[in-house]
Structure 1
Amino acid sequence: MEKIARSFECKEWDDKGTFSGYASVFGNIDSHGDIVAKGAFDDTLAEAKRTNTLPALLWQHGMEGAMPVGRWTSMHEDDSGLHVEGKIATKTARGADVYELMKMGALNGMSIGYRATSWIMHGKNHPARRTLKAVKLFEVSIVSDPSNGLARVDAVKSHDEGARLKRALAELAAAVRA
């Protein structure tokens, strides 16, 4: 009988409400005719690091009141765009609603609230209106209809995932023992 040994770690999801995704994706044209260029968030990210304060995490750009629905725990640029990780305040009514909709996939858009500080205007023959070279980022929202169609939540963690993983590992262990 052959045996295969693999080490693995099973962590309980004690961080209910965490998620990640792209708040902005570089190089594509959004519904306002803008393209965000790589490096556009450099100043905002440098300021956030200096002040230890990330932009607000809002629901629908605060249209129902600017109270945050959570907080950003990480924000950085990579080759694809502005990657973010956040934690939803699941013990608030709005946070619980947002998180439940995110878990089921009904709410998966992200959108940025910003002021452009440097840009290139394009002429009539260019498909985009302008390319944003630098922006002052004020907030990143969970939204139902993002301006940048590629700006999406890509992972939502929950206690349910930990329970499913534990069940799967127990079934695997039972099958190996059998």
Structure 2
Amino acid sequence: MVPGLEVKFAGGAPVLTDGQMIEGYASLFGLTDQGGDAVAPGAFGASLARLAAKGDKVRMLWQHDPQKPIGVWDEISEDEKGLWVKGRLLPEVALAREAAALIQAGAIDGLSIGYRTIRAERDQKGRRVLAEVELWEVSLVTFPMLPEAKVGRKDSDDLREFAALFSAATEALRV
């Protein structure tokens, strides 16, 4: 097994190279997840500030299992699109090496957040909009609740426009 990895995209598929970094959007603002929730811009800010003040970190887990940490998130920030994460899978952890192999094969590319809702409100569409959350962890997952939350480069094609079109088409089919 390769001792380290870096996830990059070539022709839309993840490719692992030297290094051990992964990055992507763990949440995208304004998109409705499969549970009917959407995250508002700024929802993570207070939580990230509290963690930084305590010297604590958001955990990197495998499939939301608190007994299966697989790496560390070195950078987590909000930008105009959503919650951006960048971190390292730890090659010393067997499950992290397995995750690397699955990413390399294209079998897994989902990111998902684990959090506690602090403040939410309903919008005109009936969605619960998360205005503030306490972020606990970001996991690599097989099936993210928000399908657009994936491992990938920050400068990759903007999936937000495609996701909005897809969401609109889905809504139109429901009517």
TM over 0.5, shorter chain? yes
Deviation at 1:43, TM superposition (A): 1.1
2:91 aligns to what? 90
4+ runs of 1 displaced by more than 2 Å? Answer: none
Aligned residue runs from structure 1 range 91-130, under 5 A: 91-122=92-123, 126=125, 128-130=126-128
Structure (1 or 2) with the greater strand fraction? 2
Deviations 1:136-169 (A, max 9, x none): 01111000100011110004xxxxxxxxxxxxxx
Looking at structure 2, the residues matched to 122 and 27 of structure 1 have their Cα atoms a distance apart, in angstroms, of 11
Deviation at 1:93, TM superposition (A): 1.3
Deviations 1:48-77 (A, max 9, x none): 221222211000000xx6231011100000
Looking at structure 2, the residues matched to 148 and 22 of structure 1 have their Cα atoms a distance apart, in angstroms, of 10
Looking at structure 1, the residues matched to 50 and 36 of structure 2 have their Cα atoms a distance apart, in angstroms, of 27
Unpaired runs of at least 5, structure 2: 1-16, 154-175
Secondary structure of 1:153's counterpart equals: coil
> How high is the sequence identity, in percent, across the aligned residues?
38
- Picking from 22, 36, 44, the partner of 1:41 is 44
Q: RCO higher in 1 or 2 (8 Å CA, sep ≥ 6)?
A: 1
The structure whose Rg is larger is 1
Looking at structure 2, the residues matched to 117 and 49 of structure 1 have their Cα atoms a distance apart, in angstroms, of 18
Secondary structure of 1:84's counterpart equals: strand
Structure 2 residue 155 is the aligned partner of structure 1 residue 152: no
- Residues paired across the two proteins, number: 137
> TM-score, length-normalised on structure 2?
0.73
Unpaired runs of at least 5, structure 1: 1-12, 156-178
Moved more, 87-96 or 36-45: 87-96
Code of the residue aligned with 1:154 in structure 2: it is G
> TM-score, length-normalised on structure 1?
0.72
